[in-house]
Chain A
Amino acid sequence: MNDQRNTTEIVQASIKRRYAKEKRFRLYGLIAIISSLAFLAMLITTITIRGLPAFTQNFIQLDITLDQKTLGLGDEPDISALRKANYNGTIKNSLLAEFPDVTKRKDKKLLYKLVSKGGQYDLQKKVMADPELIGESMTVWLPVGDDVHTYLKGDVDITLPEKKRRFKDIQVGWIDSLQENGQIAKRFNKTFFESGDSREPELAGIRGALFGSMLTLVVTLALSFPVAVAAALYLEEFAPKNRWTDLIEVNINNLAAVPSIVFGLLGLAVFINFFHLPRSAPLVGGLVLSLMTLPTIIISSRAALKSVPPSIRDAALGLGASNLQVVFHHVLPLAMPGILTGTIIGMAQALGETAPLLMIGMVAFIVDVPTAITDPATVLPVQIFQWADLPEKGFVEKTSAAIMVLLAFLIVMNALAVYLRKKFERKW
């Protein structure tokens, strides 16, 4: 009797401590989740804050006289002369006309930096489209230089001594006076989506990388989808249980966990050094990525096939269908939504992959937009990697903006996968 009361007392005494422990434990779990999610939020906000300015671009309004002398053109210029004409000179002249009191060479150099090097290409395009413009004066909006963009964004600390910053006081004065006259405007940055890579941050765009990614993904999908579905069908529906199929299964599970860079080494040694396929091409990138995504798609396709109830198979067999007819006419169509979901997730994984593509030389500096799967190309994640390495400040925002585009694609793909799963989900 005495003993029992003792036990109760002991329990009673300890119960407060145990409940406190319980509470603490629960709190730890909550903290773990909240801090992980907080990190996610932090990651996305910092990148958005950094990247948003890259979607707009500032323009300067200038009166430009396209006189033949400055352009260096004869009376009847042909196309190549038009292409090579000195458009930069006309821009410089108009800047000097805007600020007539600039005379020192050093100041002139600073003045010319107000307009981006891309300005001359804009002029070139206009003149090539309409050669009648030569000799005329016109008002154009030209993109500002990188330093001006940084200043207008508010990223230049003008309280610093002048020597310590790239953007000088005199330039600040010019920009402020232009702003007062309404000669500076902010617009949507079309260049970012319309041009390829460049060494100048304000001219660099992601079009080349986007097309490279698209071509690579097309190759990946074309190769990995049929092969993965075939493999899953065999393993799930037909494979006898023997050593060979066991070996295949172990292999697939292992390949799913092999580091992606190893697939890059495989691509380099086999596709490039042995088969002599072109370096940096979406073809090789697609081959490597499809080998990498195969296990993912196979595993999810098998899960989808497994969820089709055996009664469907039995019914079809009972009506006299052959084994393959059962699978291709009944099981596969029913499993298709699940297979497609897995495929989309595999493709999203392939879209974000960088390391194996570095191995097969997709890191080259490529300005042209690729049009075929054998053209040298780069892809969006690799472009991000390259830009992240560049020292110019302008590239930080370009990198963040490119990341935003990449994440947007991934979100769309994953949302599509979730939608497909929800829409076609069937409870048997």
Chain B
Amino acid sequence: MTISLLLLVIFILVALGYTIGRTRAVKRFRSAERERRPHSLPRYYGYLVALYTLIPALVVIVLWGLLESSVLTSMVSRQLPEDIQSLPEGQLKLVINDIKNLAVGNISSSNSDPIRMEAADHFSGLLSKSRWAKGIIAIAAALLGMFFGLRSIAPETRARILVEKAIMIFLIACSSLAILTTVGIVFSVLFESLRFFGKVPFSEFAFGLHWSPQTAIRADQVGSSGSFGAVPIFAGTLLISVIAMLVAVPFGLMSAIYLAEYASPSMRSWAKPLLEILAGIPTVVYGFFAALTMAPMIRGIGESIGLTVASESALAAGLVMGIMIIPFVSSLSDDVITAVPQAMRDGSLGLGATKSETIKKVVIPAALPGIVGGVLLAVSRAIGETMIVVMAAGLAANLTINPLEAVTTVTVQIVTLLTGDQAFDSPKTLAAFALGLMLFVTTLILNIIALRTVRKYREQYE
């Protein structure tokens, strides 16, 4: 029984539970005397029965899903011959993986030994039995729940209160998912990073000047030890982000000032959405543009004035990234600038200042905390931006501040380390998680500071 079929059956049962519950409530309470009026409307009794049906079935399915794999694995491995069972844990795992793949049909069965074939047959037999058992037990649980639900239909049952409580629990659970996600992120990057720092000391990672994560597959190969000094990567990320901000801040800020202070309402109404299109274009498109148009263009210009420019220069990636961030800076600063009270402008203009003087001496200083917050958010976005740099920046970790050379960034390294074929617990893949941890912590700190500043600023004028 497949999971989708099972869910469909459960769904039908739930709908059935609702209908029966509701009609029964209608029938039972129609003849009731005035003193025994039911607590809730009939449909709440229907909802209640539906919940009684749904929840036990879901509990069964979830519990089964959590336990199934480990129970089945231990059952299969107990059936294996002694010599396989006594293998070290890692190899045993491989054998069992083989068996599972055989059973599902992921690998062809022609070149496997009979023991594994037999175990695979055993496994697939168990698997189909387990699926059937799961389906039957889940449906039984649903029916049992429905039975109890129907029994509980009585005028005293406070159906609406119970249903509303259940809905409330669902709402709270959904909103707590945000915390769960953060916890999930922290744990998933933290655990793998700790494993990485068990293999490579933190001091080497944080202060080492040489990054070449290519570890050999066999330990005795020449040059097998990769080196994991992340300073060149951090420097590269910083360089590209600085270039991006050098583009984004002046252009974004000036656009925001113009739109907020000078532009006519009609111009504002078309220019603002047009600018925001820049923010809606997928980053992979910017990456393609940076690699295919911007980089050759910059190279051509550089060579025509006698400079050597790498084909994957930091400048190309940084420029395009800066353009991508312009609307981000401009819409945040626009909000902040329009929030500055008109009275402050009027005061300055009344003293005889020109409009630009008012903006420079009054509006911008008043809006500064908000603008800084916006810029910090933009920096965090530049640091975490992936596709542009993956497509337009280099892979080699050069320690340089020359924007015409190729540098690499944290995100580029994460992508390259994790998209190759490597055993999951090699230092190479673990290094990606360590970089991910650095990325997460940096952006988190920037975001918290930025959001605090923006919020404080808002409170000041509200």
Is B277 an interface residue when CB atoms closer than 8 A count as contact?
A: yes
Task: Say yes or no: A406 contacts B285, CB within 8 Å.
Answer: yes
A230-260 CB mask vs B (1 if < 8 Å, else 0) is 1101110011000001011011111101111
Q: Give min CB distance, A404 to chain B, whole Å.
A: 10
Partner of B418 from A230, A268, A410 at Cβ < 8 Å: A268
The interface-forming segment of A55-63, A129-137, A306-314, A352-360 is A352-360
Q: Give min CB distance, A20 to chain B, whole Å.
A: 10
A359 and B284 in contact, given A254-B448, A258-B443, A324-B167 (Cβ under 8 angstroms):
no
Task: Say yes or no: A265 contacts B288, CB within 8 Å.
Answer: no
Q: How far is A266 from B179 in the complex, measured between Cα atoms in Å?
A: 14
The interface-forming segment of B8-16, B170-178, B214-222 is B170-178
A32 and B255 in contact, given A40-B274, A231-B177 (Cβ under 8 angstroms):
yes
Is A141 an interface residue when CB atoms closer than 8 A count as contact?
A: no
Query: How many chain B residues have a CB neighbour from A under 8 Å?
Result: 87
Partner of A43 from B164, B289, B384, B385 at Cβ < 8 Å: B289
Q: How far is A173 from B326 in the complex, measured between Cα atoms in Å?
A: 51
Within A344-362, which residues are at the interface with B (CB < 8 Å)? 348, 351-355, 358-359, 361
Q: How far is A46 from B281 in the complex, measured between Cα atoms in Å?
A: 14
Complex contacts, B133 vs chain A, CB 8 Å: none
Interface range, A side: 35 or more
Partner of A26 from B168, B171, B262, B436 at Cβ < 8 Å: B262
Task: Say yes or no: A258 contacts B254, CB within 8 Å.
Answer: no
Is A47 an interface residue when CB atoms closer than 8 A count as contact?
A: yes
Q: How far is A251 from B181 in the complex, measured between Cα atoms in Å?
A: 9
Is B291 an interface residue when CB atoms closer than 8 A count as contact?
A: yes
A259 and B291 in contact, given A324-B167, A406-B285, A410-B282 (Cβ under 8 angstroms):
no
Task: Say yes or no: B386 contacts A259, CB within 8 Å.
Answer: yes
Is A215 an interface residue when CB atoms closer than 8 A count as contact?
A: no
Task: Say yes or no: B251 contacts A32, CB within 8 Å.
Answer: yes
Q: How far is A254 from B174 in the complex, measured between Cα atoms in Å?
A: 17
Task: Say yes or no: B387 contacts A25, CB within 8 Å.
Answer: no
Q: Which of A26, A32, A254, A294 has the most CB of B within 10 A?
A: A32
Task: Say yes or no: B443 contacts A259, CB within 8 Å.
Answer: yes
Is A54 an interface residue when CB atoms closer than 8 A count as contact?
A: no
Q: How far is A161 from B239 in the complex, measured between Cα atoms in Å?
A: 42
Within B421-462, which residues are at the interface with A (CB < 8 Å)? 424, 432-433, 436, 439-440, 443-444, 447-448, 450-451
A265 and B188 in contact, given A40-B277, A257-B377, A388-B292 (Cβ under 8 angstroms):
yes
Task: Say yes or no: B174 contacts A262, CB within 8 Å.
Answer: no
Q: Give min CB distance, A308 to chain B, whole Å.
A: 17
Complex contacts, B451 vs chain A, CB 8 Å: 250, 253-254, 257
Chain B contact residues: over half helix, strand or loop, or mixed?
helix
Q: How far is A290 from B106 in the complex, measured between Cα atoms in Å?
A: 29
Q: Give min CB distance, B101 to chain A, whole Å.
A: 12
B223-255 CB mask vs A (1 if < 8 Å, else 0) is 000000000000000000000000000111111
Task: Say yes or no: B381 contacts A257, CB within 8 Å.
Answer: yes
Partner of A265 from B177, B179, B254, B433 at Cβ < 8 Å: B433
Task: Say yes or no: A385 contacts B188, CB within 8 Å.
Answer: no
Partner of B384 from A230, A258, A400, A410 at Cβ < 8 Å: A258
Task: Say yes or no: A259 contacts B439, CB within 8 Å.
Answer: yes
Q: How far is A11 from B444 in the complex, measured between Cα atoms in Å?
A: 50
Smallest Cβ-Cβ distance to A404: which chain B residue: B285
A-B contact count (CB 8 A): 247
Partner of A36 from B278, B354, B359 at Cβ < 8 Å: B278
Q: Give min CB distance, B186 to chain A, whole Å.
A: 9
Is A100 an interface residue when CB atoms closer than 8 A count as contact?
A: no
Complex contacts, B253 vs chain A, CB 8 Å: 32
Task: Say yes or no: A259 contacts B385, CB within 8 Å.
Answer: yes
Q: Which of B164, B174, B411 has the most CB of A within 10 A?
A: B174
Complex contacts, A323 vs chain B, CB 8 Å: 164
Complex contacts, B414 vs chain A, CB 8 Å: 261, 265, 359
Task: Say yes or no: B271 contacts A37, CB within 8 Å.
Answer: yes
A257 and B189 in contact, given A266-B184, A385-B391, A414-B280 (Cβ under 8 angstroms):
no
Is B342 an interface residue when CB atoms closer than 8 A count as contact?
A: no
Is A270 an interface residue when CB atoms closer than 8 A count as contact?
A: yes
Is A384 an interface residue when CB atoms closer than 8 A count as contact?
A: yes
Q: How far is A245 from B254 in the complex, measured between Cα atoms in Å?
A: 38
Is A154 an interface residue when CB atoms closer than 8 A count as contact?
A: no
Q: Which of A351, A355, A407 has the most CB of B within 10 A?
A: A355
Task: Say yes or no: A324 contacts B168, CB within 8 Å.
Answer: yes
A406 and B255 in contact, given A227-B174, A233-B171, A235-B175 (Cβ under 8 angstroms):
no
Interface residues of A (CB under 8 A from B): 11, 18-19, 21-22, 25-26, 28-33, 35-37, 39-40, 43, 46-47, 226-228, 230-231, 233-235, 238-239, 245, 247-248, 250-255, 257-263, 265-266, 268-270, 273, 276, 291, 294-295, 298, 322-324, 348, 351-355, 358-359, 361, 363, 381-382, 384-385, 388-389, 396, 399-400, 403, 406-407, 410, 414
What are some 15 contacts across the A-B interface (CB < 8 A)? A22-B354, A26-B258, A26-B356, A37-B271, A234-B175, A247-B179, A257-B381, A257-B450, A259-B443, A261-B384, A294-B178, A352-B284, A359-B415, A385-B387, A399-B288
A-B complex: 3 closest residue pairs judged by Cβ atoms? A259-B384, A29-B258, A352-B282
Additional A-B contact list (18), CB under 8 Å, known A251-B178, A385-B387: A25-B359, A26-B356, A33-B255, A39-B323, A43-B285, A227-B177, A230-B171, A230-B175, A254-B182, A255-B181, A258-B384, A261-B439, A262-B443, A266-B189, A354-B284, A354-B386, A400-B288, A406-B285
